[in-house]
Structure 1
Amino acid sequence: MWRGVFSWLGGLKADLRRRLAGQILAEAEADRRAARDLLQEAMDLLPEGVVLLDAQGRYILWNRRYAEIYHRSADLFAQGASFADTLRAGVARGDYPEAAGREEAWIAERLHKLMNPTGERHEQQISDGHWLMIEEKRTSDGGVIGLRVDITQMKRQAEALEDALHRVEAASRAKTEFLADMSHGLRTPLNGVMGLTQALAATDLSEVQRGLVEDILRSAGALDDLVGGLLDYGDAARVADEHPPAPSHHVGAEAPTLRVLAADDNPTNRKVVELMLGAAGAEVVSVENGQEAVAAWQDGAFDVVLMDLRMPVMDGLDAIRAIRRSETSGLPRAPIIVVSANTSPDDLAASATAGADRHIGKPIRADELFDAITGVIEAA
């Protein structure tokens, strides 16, 4: 009798244990579902796309934003589905423009980044034109959590900013070129006025005539200062006097035997140099462009070269470089002075880089020209 009772009790305990285990499992499953639903709800509230993958790269969870971002592939998302399979299907559909023409290599690179996450961010473009910032990290169980941030607006703003910077740079270059052209255009005739007037001042004049010449020089000097201020170009190559002195005959003693090669495309400017240096006893050979200057230097013995920058056929910088190259074949080194209406810091640097020894600005002042010639000859 007792044996039957004990058997009945044993069966009852086993049944109770089974029922209890089932209840515990059911409650655990309910808790798991509730936790999963809560996690899903929390993820769906996030503005960024989020995806959870297991250690084999299979989908566990993804939020609503992730499905919206990859809307062309959202029909393929399923728990347990392979990310690699979804990626391949997306590539086949043309969802990833970067993969075009190198599909297998692109897929391999993308899967390598996925399964070896470093947390390093990278960008991805999708077929609807949007740009994504992707960040992926390893979870404690060996899976992967991925973040997708839409950076399309940021990319457009960056492109707009870059375009604006290019426009600003282009405008700045255009302004610089315009100012250089204006400087050259204004200072070239001004150089003729001042140079010829200074040459006239060195001749025998009556007191009335000398007063008029001095008035012309003062007016020309004021105009030169106005041009310099207007164009925002300081003449770094010289320190100009407010009232430039007229050259006197005794200056010629500084360069009695000079042989000067002067290159300038403007005939008035050539005349100014010839008058200034001729009055000092120098011999001046004038040419109209850089090519003629190079040929003349190679054919004749000159003590100094005066080189304008803006000239046809060959400009002054190219001519200076050509002369410096010819010196390597045995010709003596030429003392070269740039004489130009362009005196910006960039112009000065370009002259020095080409090989010029000095750079003085137009309008030319006789005392400045003689000082420059004396300086380069003494340094030679």
Structure 2
Amino acid sequence: MSKSGLRGWCAKLARDIGRTLGGRALVAAEAEALRAEARLREAIDALPEGVVFLDAEGRYVLWNRRYAEIYHRSADLFRPGARLADTLRVGVARGDYPDAVGREDEWLAARMRKLTSPTGERHEQRLADGRWLMIEERRTADGGIIGLRVDITQLKRQAADLEDALHHAEAASRAKSDFLADMSHELRTPLNGVMGLAQALEAGDLADDQRAILAEIVKSARALDDLVNNLLDYGDAERATDSTPATGSIVHAPDAPPLRVLAADDNPTNRKVIELMLGAAGAEVVSVEDGAQAVQAWRSGAFDLVLMDLRMPVMDGLDAIRAIRRAEGAGLPRAPIIVISANTAPGDLEASKAAGADRHIAKPVRAETLFEAISEVLEQGP
């Protein structure tokens, strides 16, 4: 992300405020603008997918670290005021886009049509290093463009593997189930990070322009969430369990200040989301990366609640839940356990219940859904 571009934007905001309030107020406004800039930059850079903002003329305004990593062959061309169209032309000349080879003008014309008339329609893009991206671009309220870049390389490979597997009738059903489970995990896990961080930021003190950018991020993330649901096609009954969208009603956090929570998730962004959500309610959160660490931490510390992901290295969430329940059977106190997972097929829900989980909620997790589940399991008691 361009620090100079974002800094200039925030400085302009501070100057506008300063013309009204005067000298001393200007100093305070500039300080607040710098703090707001730092918060916004940190939040956008924490997003696991590439994000870019363009002005109404298609010129770079700001972009996050992940966007620069995805397009590392062209990152030397990124600067505020430069045109994305010019970056694309240089990239085509360098051979960054294999599908453009031999049809450069046609490829550029098609890409420019999508860029100049962004409708939110998703399309794929292949890069020279073999990666595949899903691109979504839409207009912002001020006439600019917000663009999302999601790396779908692994999903493309899995889709190719699935196509091969379908030729073998005996393996077809198993391959389809595995593919859907992998797709759910790979897409919903970063979505949980995007939507969770955005929700945490919404509660903060942001300027109107910053809040507008945040609203565009949330809108795009929710559109991507809808796409995931359509792709997986689980069915309304399966998605309804603990994953119903918010209706606008306010769900208050439980009485959390004395609450000590153990959270296990191998994704650092998702751990940060849980820490932000529960930390805002006054809870103490201890985070670990896998099931084995979760069992060890639970044995060594008094926790009021355990939040458990399912797919983790070393020991998965189901095995960790079973280990905790076995230890409880040996005399340790019972801990309420809530599974938070991108996998919500009926088999996943049944497996969580059989292992000993009290609830199973879906990623991307909303704060109100999490607090509601926590309140229910705590009220139920041991």
Instruction: State the TM-score, normalized to the length of structure 2.
Output: 0.53
1:205 is matched with which residue? 206
Aligned partners of 1:217, 1:254: CA distance in 2, in Å?
28
Tell whether the 8 Å contact from 2:254 to 2:375 is kept in structure 1 after alignment.
no
Residue in 2 that maps onto 1:339: 340
Alignment-derived partner of residue 235 in structure 1: 239
Higher Cα Rg: structure 1 or 2? 1
Equivalent residue number for residue 285 of structure 1? 286
User: Is this contact kept in 2: 1:252–1:281, CA < 8 A?
Assistant: no
Structure 2 gap segments, 5+ residues each: 1-165
Q: Are the equivalent residues in 2 in contact too, given 1:221–1:243 (CA < 8 A)?
A: no
- Deviation (angstroms), 1:342: 0.4
Q: How does 1:1-380 map to 2 (within 5 A)?
A: 167-233=168-234, 234-241=238-245, 251-252=252-253, 254-380=255-381
In structure 2, distance between residues paired with 1:316 and 1:349? 14
Residue 330 of structure 1 and its aligned partner are, at CA, apart by: 1.1
The alpha carbon displacement at 1:216 in A equals 2.2
Post-superposition CA distance 1:167-200 (Å, at most 9, x none): 5342111100011011100111111100111111
| Structure 1 match to 2:49 | none
Q: What RMSD over aligned residues (CA atoms) do the two structures have, in Å?
A: 2.3
Matched residue type, 2:232: L
Residue type at the aligned position of 1:327: E
Q: Which whole-Å CA distance do the structure 2 matches of 1:244 and 1:310 have between them?
A: 31
Question: Quick one: structure 1 residues 318 and 229, their matched pair in 2 at CA, closer, same or farther if it must change by over 3 Å?
Answer: same
Tell me: CA distance 1:221–1:295, structure 2 relative to 1, closer, same or farther (3 Å): same
CA shift in 2, pair 1:273/1:280, >3 Å = same
State the Cα distance separating 1:292 from its structure 2 match: 0.5
Aligned length: 214
Q: String of CA shifts for 1:246-294, please: whole Å, max 9, x gaps.
A: x8xx944632221100000011110110011111101000000000101
- Structure 1: any 5+ residue segments left out of the alignment? 1-164
Alpha-carbon deviation of 1:328? 1.0
Question: Within 1, Cα distance between the matches of 2:263 and 2:244?
Answer: 22
* C-alpha contact (below 8 Å) 2:257/2:284 kept by paired residues: no
Contact map agreement 2:253 2:368 (CA 8 A) in 1:
no
Q: Structure 1 length normalisation: TM-score?
A: 0.53
| Alignment-mate amino acid for residue 272 of structure 2 | K
1:244 Cα deviation from its structure 2 partner: 6.8
Identity %: 69
Q: Distance in 2 between matches of 1:237 and 1:303?
A: 24
